[in-house]
Amino acid sequence: MGGGSKKKKSVLALGAGAGAAISPALAPEAPGTNIPFKVMATMWGLYWDWQFGAFKKYQAGEISPVELYTLANEKAQELGIPVPLGIGHLAVLSSDQEKLKEGLAPHVETGEVPKPSDFDYIGVFPVDSDFWGFYDDQYAKFLEGKITYEQFQENLQNEAAKQGYVNAGVVQGEQGPFTDVPASAHPAQPAGEPGGTGKEEGAPEAAEAAPFSPSAPPPAWLLEASPVREDFWDGVAEAGPLGRPFLVAGPDIEDQTLTATLFRDPGGDSSKSRLVLFGKVREESEAKLLDALDLEGGHTVKVKRQVEKEAPLPLDEQEGLYAQLLKVAKSVNHHTGEGKDNVIPDHTLKGMAELRARLEKLQGSAQDEKVQAMLEHYVSQLKAVESAVAGKTKAPFVTQFTASQTVEVEEEVVVPAGKGEGLPARKRTGSRINASESGGSAVWDGTRNEDKFYGVEYLIDLGDGYQAVYHPNDKSVPYSLRGTLELIAPPGVNDGRGALQKLNLLHLHAGPPASAEEAEVMYLERNVWAQGYEKDPEYRAVGETLKALEMKQEAKLLAALDGAASKGLAEEEMLALAKELVLQNQRALLAEKTRLLKRFFERKLGLAPGGLDKLPTYRPVPAAAQSRKGFHFWNRFDLTPEAVREKTKGYCVVHEIKTAPGKKVDILCRMIENGGVLASTELRRRMGVKHSGVSSEQDMVTGGASYAFCFFRKDKKQKDFDIVWDPEALLTRSDWFATKGDDFGAVNPENAHYSVSGRTRKVEDLPEYESTGSGSWRAQIMFKNGVDLFGAHPPRAIFVDSENDRQKVLASFAKVGVKELGGRPVEDVVKVR
């Protein structure tokens, strides 16, 4: 009923009012005529901010259900919101609402408290009924003045009776002046705000009904792509290291997408798991975030604690075993290979002999199982180096032994100074979450890898144990990391609703779930970029038209703020109200923006008005809504798979795993077991995958680290690579671009590798790039975030070097329960070169 609930009502229904037999203190009160109704509606944003804290007190047992209900009604009256409130105004989840109803019931029966307007309907009226579609139609007619409020109520009752809900109740009470609200746009409020309902006086005894919804149930895909259902957060752990993406409202977050990742505690303690929301703040929105911070109002302290962590053994550090092994292996490789004399220096041979003697001596006295395992690990690797010397070949990669152990770590915590304005924050050296991946899960002990290469960052105290780390748009920060926001919940908190509430403190519009209308605008804008129209004069004219409309809306916004100021709101409440009004302003323009962009594309594609919606390729749905993990991506509606296939006959898209030949299969198996995604460097770092590409740090500077690197090649060359796709499986995406040569995937316009020439988003240019580009890195294709092997982008083939490697890969597919890729058995996809 409240934001995030299954039961929703319009803000106007919220203002509708009253049941019978209530105290004078809770008498229904219509919105004041000196404030436009839009301002009254946004007061609900202030109310829900208050409700969040009050409900926590109720959950903690600090206040009773009756006290919560009384305080809520008093707060509503203070904000000019009609009372009495319903139970849906006190709690969001259905289970919480039913518990509150049970707690209030004895007091309602005795008349100690007035009956909440929705008391008789909680959990009774089905939330998936098509009644809501009828409700929307009638509601729009009421707003347009085509029917009276009494007719609106009567029509609802009749429709409810037709659907078997005999004498269902309707919203009652005085209505305020609604003419200020356009029928085409619902006022902005936390998703699902409820309103009052009650029985018509003198009506026969009614079958119980739930409060009425302001809109039809959201489309099924939106339920997967936004946290509008209470079970959304249950799926975060299932998404593993990739995390679960979801859409949020407003223009402040890139792609309107946040990704929730639940990091498991290394020791397996569920009370120490950590939920993190990742997102990118748009550069133009950064000033708002920084304005929310008080960089002088707090200080940081380091707190020590014990954690379970994968780390080298102390004996290894004391004896320098791995350091010596790495030293001799590097020396062997330096003197071995084509053009080398293949003569290993005496000092290297001596170092190998000394290392073997030390390992054998330690093996004779080792009692600890972990120490024994470490020594066996190093003896085995030293034998491989010795074999390489004997065969005059390069030595294989050597790895350091690590094991789970209890270690002491330090964490920085911001301590508020108790004065100053804004959130206590500290600017410090940049860092990343020190995560790892294990058994298909992301693992993190709360520590961070600090490195000057990451530039600077802000550590922000959000209160109640929540923290944020923000990587600003500063030249010291690698381009692909700039704007990244990490919202970190307290240990053991696996539900992200509290974290989303905290986003409001950062002055960012990201709290309510995105609507289907906002998702469609994002889809259209994505296609503007993908189809190369961002500089088109007609597209710019659309922007100018919208800007003019926005300025008119802003004039109304300022008038509304003036009206609110006359109510004597505190500065903090005025700020929250202004934020609500800005978002409302932007949402009010959605319908017009959608209409203008659709007509723009219809002209470009030679379609009649309304023709865009009829295209089979027009799908304003983020594809990750189906697999529930990883990242969102949208398709291009100007391309069909058939058209791509025709333009790319004889070609394929390929990827090569850059590592030592013997290690490729291990990386491929880990990729499969961690979600089946060819991930960008940035996504791998977030997941805790330690494997780095050929130029990972350089790619972070250019911005290419936000993309997965692939190539466009002729079919006859496909066996030279590790993963191969049919072009039509990938090139209908709207987030790729290609370069003729190797520019490290540069998207940073200030980087020397960046060039506007020699890059394209046109499929028909790719064969020419492949034939005229130079070097093995020619005709690169960059896909934002990565490529999903299991879902939308099944590969044509996966090539390995031996049957033994093939069986390893098939075993990894079996381990995660994947039997087919694109409708083909995995046995047919995985092949020996």
pLDDT digits (tens, 9 = 90+) for 483-521: 999 999 999 999 898 898 888 888 887 665 777 888 899
Q: Rounded to the nearest 5 degrees, what angle is found at the Cα of 271, between the Cα atoms of 266 and 276?
A: 75
Q: How many helices and strands (H and E) does the chain possess?
A: 26, 26
CA 295 – CA 420 distance, rounded (Å)? 9
Does the structure show a pLDDT above 50 at 19?
Answer: no
Q: Using 50, 70 and 90 to split pLDDT, how confident is the model at 281?
A: very high
Residue 391, phi-psi category: left (phi > 0), alpha (psi -120 to 50), beta (remainder): alpha
More confident residue, 185 or 616: 616
Does the structure show a pLDDT above 50 at 200?
Answer: no
Average pLDDT over residues 168-172: 33
Place of tokens 């990938």: 730
Taking a C-beta distance cutoff of 8 angstroms, is the pair 766, 723 a contact? no
Q: Using 50, 70 and 90 to split pLDDT, how confident is the model at 10?
A: very low
The encoded tokens of residue 215 equal: 């809109």
Place of tokens 């969001």: 92
Does the structure show a pLDDT above 60 at 174?
Answer: no
Q: Rounded to the nearest 5 degrees, what angle is found at the Cα of 92, between the Cα atoms of 193 and 159?
A: 55
Residue 4 in 3-state DSSP?
Answer: coil
Q: Is the dihedral of CA 691, 695, 699, 704 positive or negative?
A: negative
CA 44 – CA 50 distance, rounded (Å)? 10
pLDDT at res. 231: 78
Q: Using 50, 70 and 90 to split pLDDT, how confident is the model at 753?
A: confident
Residue 540 in 3-state DSSP?
Answer: helix
The encoded tokens of residue 297 equal: 């109002």
What DSSP character marks residue 773?
A: S
Q: Using 50, 70 and 90 to split pLDDT, how confident is the model at 14?
A: very low
The encoded tokens of residue 383 equal: 């034998």
Average pLDDT over residues 741-758: 85
Residue 442 in 3-state DSSP?
Answer: strand
CA 213 – CA 590 distance, rounded (Å)? 21
Closest CA to 331 of 321, 318, 346: 346
Write the CA distances from 79 to 75, 268, 424, integer angstroms. Answer: 6, 46, 28
Closest CA to 487 of 471, 476, 503, 472: 503
Residue 363 burial (10 A CB sphere; 0-12, 13-18, 19+) = middle
Dihedral of the alpha carbons of 771, 774, 777, 781, in degrees to the nearest 10: -50
More confident residue, 566 or 448: 448
Does the structure show a pLDDT above 90 at 454?
Answer: yes
More confident residue, 812 or 174: 812
The encoded tokens of residue 64 equal: 């009773």
* DSSP result, 177-190: --TTS-TTSPPP-S
Q: Is the dihedral of CA 392, 396, 397, 403 positive or negative?
A: negative
The encoded tokens of residue 181 equal: 């609200």
pLDDT at res. 380: 92
Taking a C-beta distance cutoff of 8 angstroms, is the pair 15, 82 a contact? yes
pLDDT at res. 430: 96
Contacts of 583 (CB under 8 A, 6+ apart): 188, 249, 250, 509
Q: Is the dihedral of CA 233, 239, 242, 245 positive or negative?
A: negative
251: preceding bond cis by omega (within 30 degrees): no
CA 405 – CA 308 distance, rounded (Å)? 5
Strand partners, 281: 253
Place of tokens 């964490």: 411
Across the chain, which distance is largest between two alpha carbons, in Å? 105
Closest CA to 224 of 530, 510, 635, 630: 630
Taking a C-beta distance cutoff of 8 angstroms, is the pair 355, 328 a contact? yes
pLDDT at res. 150: 66
pLDDT at res. 466: 95
Average pLDDT over residues 260-283: 92
Taking a C-beta distance cutoff of 8 angstroms, is the pair 338, 365 a contact? no
pLDDT at res. 77: 79
CA 704 – CA 695 distance, rounded (Å)? 10
CA 249 – CA 523 distance, rounded (Å)? 14
Single-letter code of the amino acid located at 462: L
CA 227 – CA 245 distance, rounded (Å)? 10
Q: Using 50, 70 and 90 to split pLDDT, how confident is the model at 395?
A: confident
* DSSP result, 553-603: HHHHHHHHHHHHHTTT--HHHHHHHHHHHHHHHHHHTHHHHHHHHHHHHHH
Q: Rounded to the nearest 5 degrees, what angle is found at the Cα of 25, between the Cα atoms of 20 and 26?
A: 40
pLDDT at res. 375: 93
User: Which segment of 220-234, 439-453, 565-579 scores lowest on mean pLDDT?
Assistant: 565-579
CA 393 – CA 497 distance, rounded (Å)? 57
Does the structure show a pLDDT above 70 at 731?
Answer: yes
User: Which segment of 91-95, 684-688, 774-778, 803-807 scores lowest on mean pLDDT?
Assistant: 91-95
pLDDT at res. 306: 66
Does the structure show a pLDDT above 90 at 818?
Answer: yes
Taking a C-beta distance cutoff of 8 angstroms, is the pair 630, 682 a contact? no
User: Which segment of 187-191, 516-520, 533-537 scores lowest on mean pLDDT?
Assistant: 187-191
pLDDT at res. 304: 62
CA 677 – CA 423 distance, rounded (Å)? 37
User: Which segment of 302-311, 340-349, 481-490, 688-697 scores lowest on mean pLDDT?
Assistant: 302-311
Contacts of 49 (CB under 8 A, 6+ apart): 501, 504, 576
Where do the H-state alpha helices sit in 589-738?
A: 590-604, 624-627, 641-647, 664-673, 681-687, 696-702
Q: Using 50, 70 and 90 to split pLDDT, how confident is the model at 22?
A: very low
The encoded tokens of residue 460 equal: 């922000």
Average pLDDT over residues 386-402: 87
Dihedral of the alpha carbons of 225, 231, 233, 234, in degrees to the nearest 10: -120
Does the structure show a pLDDT above 70 at 406?
Answer: yes
CA 677 – CA 683 distance, rounded (Å)? 10
User: Which segment of 1-15, 49-63, 156-170, 412-426 scores lowest on mean pLDDT?
Assistant: 1-15
CA 95 – CA 518 distance, rounded (Å)? 29
CA 2 – CA 531 distance, rounded (Å)? 40
Q: Using 50, 70 and 90 to split pLDDT, how confident is the model at 25?
A: very low
Q: Please list, residue by residue across 523-562, b when 16 or more beta carbons sit within 10 angstroms of its beta carbon and e when fewer do.
A: bbbbbbebbebeeeeebeebeeeeeebbeebeebbeebbe
CA 306 – CA 475 distance, rounded (Å)? 36
What is the pTM for the complete model shown? 0.63
Percent of the chain clearing pLDDT 90 (strictly above): 37
CA 51 – CA 1 distance, rounded (Å)? 13
Q: Using 50, 70 and 90 to split pLDDT, how confident is the model at 602?
A: very high
Tens digit of each residue's pLDDT (9 = 90 or more) over 283-336: 988 988 988 898 865 545 556 666 677 778 888 888 889 989 988 988 888 888
pLDDT at res. 342: 77
Mean pLDDT of the chain: 78
CA 404 – CA 436 distance, rounded (Å)? 12
Average pLDDT over residues 31-56: 56
Tens digit of each residue's pLDDT (9 = 90 or more) over 210-252: 332 334 456 777 777 777 667 788 889 888 899 999 888 878 8
CA 279 – CA 426 distance, rounded (Å)? 20
More confident residue, 471 or 141: 471
User: Radius of gyration over alpha carbons of the chain, in Å?
Assistant: 30
